[in-house]
Amino acid sequence: MSQKTYALIIAGGVGARMKTDIPKQFLSVFDRPVISYTMEAFENDERIDGIAVVCVEGWDHLLDAIAKQYKISKYMGSCLGGDTGQHSIYNGLAFLKQRVDENDIVLIHDAIRPLVSEEIIDDCIDKIKEYGNAVSVIPCNEVILRNAEGSNETSDGTIDRSTLKRTQTPQGATLKTLLEMHEKAKREGKAYIATADLLLGSGYVVHYSLGSEKNVKLTTQDDLDIMKALLEVSGHGK
């Protein structure tokens, strides 16, 4: 049986930093919800075989309606998120475990990175096939200041930015590898921020795949403004 690839979109957050009652993945940008752009990006990539979503509680019916409205034919359904990002991803992996082969590839992606490109998705798949895992990254171009000892307001030096990368999503590996890492972390009571962190904590060497400054994560209102501007430039805005 040939190896397939699935997108696991994490939409379990409530978006407190956006200061809105609506989870940011369901905010409207040019009269359509953010998550519809994210799902469409994976729908349009011929190398993606299916799309599963980890959804914030109470919004699953709207998610189903969005998938229908925007003709997301690869949509497999959703499961509820957990108390943490790690818990939410584990719930999604458990959902996939009941539906796909353990040797299939899973790309874990933030719902609030709606402008992910086919090039980024495909490079992540290629790196996983070659190395076993992949994390989308971009260079760290800014000067990075190191906090002075005991201070969060001043600096006494810099960190060599040439040794640093900024992580994005997608991040992925085979379903088997991802489940084994999550189950081990659960047994040991260890918490990790992201899949890249979990890979490192599990003893893996992390392999880089392509990222982009355009693969923006919608955390603040400024990020929404950037998304709108990029859509307008690409001809998808009003």
Nearest to 88 by CA among 24, 22, 11: 11
Three-state DSSP at 115 gives coil
Instruction: Quote the tokens at residue 60.
Output: 């699953």
pLDDT of residue 17: 56
Could you read off the pLDDT of 43-87 as tens digits, one per residue? 999 999 999 999 999 999 999 999 999 999 999 999 999 999 999
Helices marked H in 169-220 — which ranges? 175-188, 195-201
Side chain identity at residue 146, one-letter code: R
DSSP class per residue in 173-187: EEHHHHHHHHHHHHH
Q: Is the pLDDT of residue 221 over 60?
A: yes
Q: Is the pLDDT of residue 165 over 80?
A: yes
**Average pLDDT score over residue span 125-146:** 97
pLDDT of residue 55: 97
Read off the pLDDT band of 14 (50, 70, 90).
Answer: low
CATH of the domain at 201: 3.90.550.10
Read off the pLDDT band of 235 (50, 70, 90).
Answer: confident
Read off the pLDDT band of 121 (50, 70, 90).
Answer: very high
pLDDT of residue 238: 55
Side chain identity at residue 6, one-letter code: Y
Q: Is the pLDDT of residue 237 over 70?
A: no
Q: Give a three-class secondary structure readout of 67-89.
A: HHHCCCCCEEEEEECCCCHHHHH
**Distance (Å, rounded) from C-alpha 66 to C-alpha 85?**
23
Q: What is the DSSP letter of 39?
A: H
Q: What is the CA radius of gyration of the chain?
A: 18
Please check whether residue 175 is in contact with residue 182, taking contact to mean a CB–CB distance below 8 angstroms. Answer: no
* Residue numbers of the domain that contains 76: 5-234
Read off the pLDDT band of 21 (50, 70, 90).
Answer: confident
Instruction: Quote the tokens at residue 57.
Output: 């509680």
**Average pLDDT score over residue span 98-103:** 98
What's the pTM? Answer: 0.95
Structural domains in the chain (count) = 1
